[in-house]
């Protein structure tokens, strides 16, 4: 047995939908084709030349990486350039590449949930900005006896998802009136005669990327020859906050927290910026490069923010905001999330006989 690149991509899109990625983040299939057969997969933080070589050594057909290899259109591919060398190695070995970046950061059990778990946070909740998604409300009028069928069709196409609830809809009863003209084939009534019908108005929330699919599904499930419906654009809203915040196992001074995190992240070089004598009870976490989330951490009443790497202005901003900033290492704060992704892929692919390796493990 085996799988295809497209099937793996479909699974990744289910657990970390690409629309959850931040703007201009090039997630998804970067090298390869969906129909390519996959028998071995390598999961890694970076798709660099060393990782490409490891994927080739393990005879993998697919590399799933957190960081995209191609961030912007390439003006050239030189084999003496690190990016070009990785592209060359993957293409020559016919190894496909899928990137799951900020969409995996915000996803449940993703980068930041895994980081919160590793450092022992409890009462974890999301915080901070996330990707903004355009939504629409679709209202359709259908005969009362077809209400459930139309709602089911729209829900199966992606409408009606609110948080952890699906098939969310609101409907009200009313009376519709119409008069079929010559050539019409009415579901109810006769040509040339005014008709009154008991109808239901259904309203459902639809994300922009599913709008066309939902409308097509709705029309197919609807019994009317001509379907009456309205589409209302809604305010763009932020969803799926990127960061996580929670309570530490016990209150710690900032200096004690540094030592605690150094052990949890297996990185003795964790750095602290801010008041070393501050008592830390609540900790916000953003894996990777999350220094810009200091204002969000302050608004969430975090005593401290752990991230992977920071810029110079973040170091003095931490003092000014009275939020202790801890720099735990880019790889160290994101590796737990990629280990979690490896486990998810193994659960999906091993029953099909596909092996999944993690680049951090010894070959």
pLDDT at 316 > cutoff 80: yes
* pLDDT score, position 239: 67
Q: Are 161 and 228 in contact (CB under 8 A)?
A: no
In the chain, domain spans: 3-104+335-358, 111-130+241-328, 135-235
pLDDT digits (tens, 9 = 90+) for 182-228: 999 999 999 999 999 999 999 999 988 889 999 999 999 999 999 99
Distances in whole angstroms, Cα of residue 292 to Cα of each of 129, 303, 317, 325:
10, 16, 10, 11
* pLDDT score, position 162: 83
* pLDDT score, position 238: 60
CATH of domain 135-235: 3.30.70.120
Rounded mean pLDDT, 306-334: 97
Tokens found for residue 17: 């939908």
pLDDT band at 133 (very low <50, low <70, confident <90, very high): confident
**How many other C-beta atoms lie within 10 A of the C-beta of residue 2?**
13
Q: Which of 272, 283, 282, 285 is nearest to 318 (CA)?
A: 272
How large a percentage of the chain has pLDDT more than 70? 98
Tokens found for residue 23: 């703007």
* pLDDT score, position 363: 53
How large a percentage of the chain has pLDDT more than 90? 86
From 133-147, 202-216, 236-250, the region with the lowest mean pLDDT: 236-250
Which residue is associated with the tokens 């202790």?
Answer: 324
Class of domain 111-130+241-328: alpha beta
**What are the phi and psi torsion angles at 131 (to 5°)?**
-65, 145
pLDDT band at 362 (very low <50, low <70, confident <90, very high): low
pLDDT at 19 > cutoff 70: yes
Q: Are 116 and 244 in contact (CB under 8 A)?
A: yes
More confident residue, 237 or 257: 257
Class of domain 3-104+335-358: alpha beta
Indicate the pTM of the whole model: 0.76
How far apart CA 64 and CA 130 sit, in angstroms, is 23
pLDDT band at 128 (very low <50, low <70, confident <90, very high): confident
**Topology alike, domains 111-130+241-328 and 135-235:** no
């Amino acid at each position: 047995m085996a799988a295809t690149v497209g099937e793996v991509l479909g699974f990744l899109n289910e657990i970390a939908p690409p629309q959850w990625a931040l703007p201009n983040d090039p997630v998804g299939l970067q090298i390869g084709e969906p129909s390519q057969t996959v028998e071995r997969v390598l999961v890694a933080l970076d798709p660099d030349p060393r990782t490409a070589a490891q994927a080739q050594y393990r005879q993998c057909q697919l590399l799933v990486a957190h960081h995209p290899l191609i961030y912007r259109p390439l003006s050239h591919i030189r084999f003496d350039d690190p990016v070009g060398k990785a592209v060359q190695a993957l293409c020559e070995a016919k190894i496909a590449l899928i990137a799951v970046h900020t969409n995996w950061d915000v996803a449940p059990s993703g980068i930041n949930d895994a980081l919160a778990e590793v450092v022992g946070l409890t009462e974890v909740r999301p915080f901070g900005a996330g990707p903004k998604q355009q939504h629409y409300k679709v209202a359709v009028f259908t005969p009362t006896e077809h209400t459930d069928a139309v709602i089911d069709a729209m829900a199966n196409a992606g409408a009606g998802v609110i948080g952890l609830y699906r098939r969310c809809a609101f409907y009200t009863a009313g009376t519709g009136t119409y008069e079929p003209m010559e050539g019409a084939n009415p579901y109810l009534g006769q040509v040339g005669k005014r008709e009154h019908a008991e109808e239901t108005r259904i309203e459902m929330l639809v994300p922009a990327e599913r709008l066309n699919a939902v409308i097509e599904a709705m029309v197919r499930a609807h019994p009317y020859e001509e379907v009456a419906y309205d589409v209302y654009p809604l305010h763009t809203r932020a969803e799926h906050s990127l960061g996580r915040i929670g309570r530490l196992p016990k209150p710690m001074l900032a200096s004690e927290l540094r030592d605690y995190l150094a052990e949890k992240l297996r990185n003795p070089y964790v750095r602290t910026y801010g008041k070393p004598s501050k008592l830390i009870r609540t900790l916000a976490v953003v894996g990777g490069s999350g220094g810009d989330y200091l204002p969000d951490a302050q608004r969430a009443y975090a005593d401290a923010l752990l991230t992977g790497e920071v810029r110079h202005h973040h170091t003095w901003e931490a003092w000014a905001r009275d939020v202790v900033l801890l720099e735990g290492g880019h790889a160290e704060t994101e590796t737990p999330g990629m280990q979690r992704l490896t486990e998810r892929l193994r659960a999906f692919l091993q029953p099909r006989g596909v092996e999944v390796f993690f680049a951090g493990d010894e070959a």
